[in-house]
Structure 1
Amino acid sequence: MPARGRPQLIEADDAPAPALLEDLALGHRAAQAGPDDLFDNRLIRGDNLAVLRALGPEFAGRVQCVYIDPPYNTGQVFAHYDDGLEHDRWLALMRRRLLLLHRLLTDSGTLFVHIDDNELAYLITVADEVFGRDNRIAVITFKQSSVSGPKAVNAGFVSTASFIVVYARRRAAWRPGRVHAATARDARYTRWIDNIDDPPERWRLVPLRQAFARARGLDPKSLRAAPARPRSRHSCWGRRTGSSAPRGSPPATSASRRGRSWPARPPSPGWSCAPSDLAARTCTSSAASS
């Protein structure tokens, strides 16, 4: 079918792979190369399909990570490419490029495709065909814009999200690069719902230490925070909020939320935990028994 914008060049599947020619005048090499200098980076200008074909003989099976940002096919015409193709034409163009990228990746390599909701479903369909559905790692949603400017006066639905579709060359060989992100302590996990049987809008939150001391008949000032240390198998566990546990008897937990149990911090030196069944574990004061 014809494109809605300017005419497109026909891309033959059997077209010969072009050669890459380096323009030394546009390079950034030093006048004299040192023993540790690397020249692996390449900035290539040209049609992306032709470039991918040119890279194949040298880099097939050697690329670890690929990120592409194809046209969203939103119906617009830009200076250097047409963003208004028929869906079948757009899919055919994407499939050719995905096949070449699949050949370039290592077995543990990753492909990231940035796309919006206009062609998201079509992209997943063709990428599943090329890479295999089992090798689809994730579809990441992120907020890219806000309801401001022209979107603020839109009378219909407004889209503020974009997506990154993630594929592995071979999932069995793929490993995620985990990154630790430090976060501050969530102050909401230091509160106890004092009137859990009331409607949520009437819930009254009290400090966890205060609720614990009241249930045990202790002075809150006498309780000390325990030093941080790994939990043992004798750790105390909190009850499920709204369960059959006696009302007003919170255990030594770091958080209690509706329908969920959260592991407790280790008890303070003045307290010991009975290694009984999980549902029946209770804390007793060693100071009170002495």
Structure 2
Amino acid sequence: MSAELIDEIRAAFDEGLAIPYLGPGVLELAGDACTVPASPAALVARLTEKASVPHKIRDNLTAAAQFIENFKHRNTVKAAMTEAFTNEMEPTDFHRYLAALPKLPLLVHAWYDDLPNKALASRSEPWGVAQGISQTEHYGHWIHYFESDATLLPNPPESKFSVESCAPAMAPDEVKRWATLLYEPLGSIAPAQNYLVSDTDFVEVLTEIDIQTPVPEPVRDIRKGRHFLFLGCRFGKQLDRLWARQVSKRSSDFHWAVLPGELTKNELRFLEEKNIKRIDMTLEAFAEALMGSGAKVETQQPEMALGA
């Protein structure tokens, strides 16, 4: 039942065992206040407003970005992405709720906006960012690490996250550790305008993803024994499934996903493969229920681990 799953998720957050995984759909919670693209379709429309792209790829984000990169240079793509995601938006209440969780070892953000960064800025505990970067711009490197103040680090802090404790212990030298890591596999406008968006960007990642090279070592450590909560994500497209699969690899034996409405065959297969418990609610209703501000959750059809 949805109510039971929400209680289960809340308990997992209390124990530091749940990892939010935010897709572009989370931006829909901002309603009319959302001023940035909230879906791949909306983003590709923005990118092709000022660039002539063949009709057959105008609705394909990665292909359109690749065409612009090939014929107008990578900097044109980067500038268009930055323009699309430059904003003065405030985080939604749900962003703030997740960022304020006392035990939040990892927050995965698979889109390009900066609302999670803004929400985490209010945390009193130290936090940092691991961000995917393009091989086109940073050949030979997969990840950049940043302090919460946007300082670029040569390496991640030598922190050790474990299931037993969300906050890593201080070493004798008292080097600052991160209690929370924001992982952005696709990059983001903040803090340094890194974006993985073109075909070339993802082909480079795909050559290494099975052996986990592009996934930061701290993420591989934190996820052990923990459950992912997929929010604002759909799994109908191969690339979306790939990221969710590889980021959650070698974690716990089940997860959750808020997926309202009819599911595609690919989504159903993916839920079964990853043993994801589906919550058939709108994200708005789920967020209100989880935060405790919504009406009592109505009992719905049973949510099965096989993606019912």
Report the TM-score, using the length of structure 2 for normalisation. Answer: 0.28
| Bigger relative CO (Cα 8 Å, ≥ 6 apart) | 2
Structure number having the greater helix percentage? 2
Report the TM-score, using the length of structure 1 for normalisation. Answer: 0.29
